[in-house]
Amino acid sequence: MEYALLWEWLETAVRWLHVITAIAWIGSSFYFIALDLGLRRDRPLASGADGEEWQVHGGGFYHIQKYLVAPSALPEHLTWFKWESYATWLSGFALLAIVYYAGADLFLIDPAVADLSVGQAVAISVASLAGGWVVYNGLCRLFVNADQTWLMVALFGLLVALAWGFTQVFTGRAALLHLGAVTATIMSANVFLVIIPNQKIVVADLKAGRRPDPRYGRIAKQRSTHNNYLTLPVLFLMLSNHYPLVTSTRWNWVIASLVFLMGVTIRHWFNTRHARRGSPWWTWGATAALFAVIVWLSTAPRRAPEPEAEAALSPAALRFAAAPGFGAVTEIVQGRCSMCHAPEPGWYDLSWPPKGVVLVTPAQIAQEARRIALQSGYSNAMPPGNLTWMEPAERAAIVAWFEAAGG
């Protein structure tokens, strides 16, 4: 089996794993947030619990109680909610490496933005994940006893700075993906380095017969609240690579910043409802207004590539351009694909090239060799519905050229 096909299946498997673990993490997070906010606290409980809730699901009834610090006696068995977070981050980083590090020339580096080597781009990526957490954690420690509103303002400023900074070094797609990756790293590190260790300290104190310090719970609550409001923007950013109007327009960093504000308004609606404090309908208007601004920003002209940027082909692209059959494949792609994959698509129903991929010049075709082979050679995914009547012999020619270049 060809290496490219095996690599594609590896990416598919890791992507599926990432989605599975993310659903598990986000699902449990949303459940416990709703549970905590909706606890009944209208009467004192004999157990000393802060609140309780009766729930029905799947044909059974559940009676849940929450203790602000801990119960007087610790049960033998505790269920910890942590592996969902760890597995989501690990699978996400693996996917980042498979797609963006291994495919840095195509997905991570844009010579028109910053002329980076693969090593430099990967180093910036890894450093940003660690650096984002260090700065965030420092801000949380600085504002631990202060008004948390100011902390949220400072964190939003950090995210805006990261959004702008990533667009100065990476492709638009990679920039927004990395903003999501840094945010997800902050969320998972909150669980791994703060929330779970603090809970373990409380458990150890209880087992030793000591009264737990309530400050550990307050600190964990602070980080859990941040994770609550960051979840929806991370989901948006992880899906943004499918939408060029989000990633590849002039104000993509502003769009990403506004998405974080929409995450706040949406979560505020649900949090208020779950806490039974009414329905803040204004959040719907605020979210719609922010979304309207995002739509308007996406209509700004896209950044024009530098004239010489196209000539700066990666070593892999140069190999494909020099492979036997490249001339014939160029004619095939220009005849069957370029009407849609053009700066101004000729297909009547398109306003921009699908996924921002342009396939007009030989250099652009060589740069996209792997995706062309997978989409139109090994499979018949493109053209969609074979609207341009690509022949089996033409698909075979694409595969032969790709394999001749060592793809």
Burial level of 191, CB count in 10 A (0-12/13-18/19+)?
Answer: buried
Q: What integer pLDDT is reported at residue 285 of this predicted model?
A: 96
CA–CA distance, 360 with 259 (Å, rounded to integer): 33
Q: How far is CA 18 from the centre of its chain?
A: 11
State whether residue 60 is helix, strand or coil: strand
Per-residue confidence (pLDDT) for residue 334, from 0 to 100: 93
Using alpha carbons, list the distances in angstroms from residue 21 to 126, 185, 263, 300.
22, 15, 21, 37
Q: How far apart are CA 212 and CA 206, in angstroms?
A: 7
pLDDT in tens, 125-159: 999 999 999 999 999 988 877 778 888 899 999 99
| Residue 118 CA: distances (Å) to CA of 103, 314, 322 | 9, 10, 22
Reported as a pLDDT band with limits 50, 70 and 90, residue 301 is low
Sequence spans of domains, the chain: 86-298, 313-404
Residue 57's DSSP bridge partners are: 60
Q: For the CA atoms of 64, 265, 225, 80, what is the dihedral angle to 10 degrees?
A: 50
Q: What three-state secondary structure class fits 223?
A: helix
Contact yes or no for 241/173 (Cβ under 8 A): yes
The structure's pTM equals 0.85
Average pLDDT of span 331-356: 86
pLDDT at 302: 58
What are the backbone dihedrals phi and psi of residue 303, each rounded to the nearest 5 degrees, phi first?
Answer: -65, 125
pLDDT at residue 20, as a whole number:
97
Residue 306 has what pLDDT?
Answer: 47
Model confidence pLDDT, tens digit, residues 7-57: 889 999 999 999 999 999 999 999 999 998 989 888 788 777 888 999 999
Judged by phi (left if over 0) then psi (alpha if -120 to 50, else beta), residue 66 lies in: beta
C-beta neighbour count of 292 within 10 angstroms: 10
Span 59-83, pLDDT tens digits: 899 998 888 766 777 777 888 999 9
**Range with the poorest average pLDDT among 156-170, 249-263, 298-312:** 298-312
